[in-house]
Structures are given as C-alpha cells and as structure tokens.
Copies of this chain bind each other. A is one copy, B any other.
Amino acid sequence: MEPATVRSRAGRPRATRGSTGRDPREEILDAAAALFVENGYAATTTRAIAERTGIRQASLYYHFAGKEEILAALLEQTVRPSVDVARSLRADDRLSPAAALHRLAVYDVEALAAAPHNVGTLYLSPEARHERFAGFRAARRELRDAYGALAEEALADALRGTWRADELGAVIIHLVEIAITLRNDGDPVDAEHVADACLRVCGLHEDAIAAARAAG
C-alpha cells in the first residue's frame, strides 16, 4: 500500500473497502495497534496512523473521533471475544465447571498469543486508566468474574471458603494474561500448560485436570 498514491486522491473520505479489500476501519485499527505497541500510545499521532494505513488524516476522522476512540476499540477487542465465549460456555451444562474453565483459558491464551499485535501490553499504560476506557475495563471485569464464577464452582473442597470468587477470578485472568508477557519477551506460549496451571490454582488434582482437559 502506498500512502502517496492514496493521499493524492481528492473527494470524500473512503468509506468503502480499500486497496487490500479490507474494511478501512479494520485497516486503521491494525495500523494504530502496530504503532501503539511499537512506539507507545503517547508517541503515536493520528497523522502517523493515517500514513501507515495509507489514507488521508481526514479519512481517519471519518471513522474515529480520535486516537482515544481507536485505543478504546483496540483494548475492547482483546477481551470481547473471550467474554462471548465465557457466556456460551457458562450456558453449556454438558461441560463441568473445570472443563469450561480449561476451555475458556485455552481460547483466551490463544487469542492473546495470535492477535496481530500485542495490544495487551497497553493494559497498564497510564492512558488506559482514564474514564474514556471504562468500556474496556467493564468487559475485562466481566471476563474476570466469569473466570471467578467457574473457578469457584470447580474449586477443590479443601479450598472452599479460603478464596473469594473475585480474588480467584483476578488470579486466573492474570495467569491467562501471561500470554502478553511471554509474547513481549519473545518466549513461546503453551495455552494447554497455562490452562492446566489455572486448574491447579483451584486446587484440583492431576486426574481431575486430565479429565477437564479431555472434556474441554
């Protein structure tokens, strides 16, 4: 894609699919994710995002109100699919809580590991704390609570009463997010191993974990 060619086009901002055949909104998000992860949110301008996308800055503003809205969409994308999977797994009563938890953790780790850019590295950035990103935080909280509810149901008897569900959920979602740190360090990510570790944190023995792994 050549920015110069695209920038020379006159007329209305493109709302149709660009030269790559992808939705221009998705192209903008992809370019922004690459720049935010590589150089940081503060150091990235909407101009740089438009240039990398191969569109004019005005076209970018046709799709997004600004940089904050782009980051909000990117952060939400890192949790939204897993929130949906968590809902459908919790509604599926053929799966044991341990099997559902294992499957959710595998899905989530693989999604974080396979995303085109490691946007999770922005979770702890000062910008992500702002009010503007309340939607992302609410979605991540829903995912944490789904982990907490499944983990509480799966919990070994010996641990009942020692952990609150929200504390358990916080530990499990954090464990899953190791995919972000491993990617950042250039280390391989084994989703099955991480999901097994989530069940061990719940105090399950190896035979119960093997059964959950097979069913999940």
Contact = CB atoms under 8 A, between A and B. Distances in A.
Interface stretch (A10-18, A47-55, A59-67, A177-185): A177-185
Contacts of A121: 124-126
Given A167-B190, A170-B178, A170-B182, 16 more contacts: A37-B126, A39-B126, A40-B40, A40-B125, A121-B124, A121-B125, A121-B126, A122-B124, A123-B181, A124-B181, A159-B206, A171-B175, A171-B197, A174-B175, A200-B201, A203-B206
Interface of A: 37-43, 120-127, 129, 156, 158-159, 163, 167, 170-171, 174-175, 177-178, 180-182, 184-185, 187, 190, 193-194, 197, 200-203, 205-206
A158 to B, nearest CB: 5
A204 to B, nearest CB: 9
A180 B200 CA distance: 22
B181 A174 contact: yes
B159 A187 contact: no
Number of copies: 2
Given A158-B206, A174-B181, A178-B174, A163 B193 contact: yes
Most chain B CB within 10 A, of A126, A177, A193, is at A126
Nearest to A120: B124
Contact of A187 (B37, B158, B170): B170
Contacts of A205: 205
Contacts of A180: 124
Contacts of A197: 171, 201
Q: Considering the complex of A and B, which 6 residue pairs feature the smallest CB-CB distances, nearest first?
A: A121-B124, A42-B42, A174-B178, A158-B206, A40-B126, A197-B201
18 contacts: A40-B40, A42-B42, A42-B43, A123-B124, A124-B181, A125-B125, A129-B184, A158-B206, A159-B206, A167-B190, A167-B193, A170-B178, A170-B181, A170-B182, A171-B193, A197-B201, A200-B200, A200-B201
Contacts of A127: 40
A30 to B, nearest CB: 17
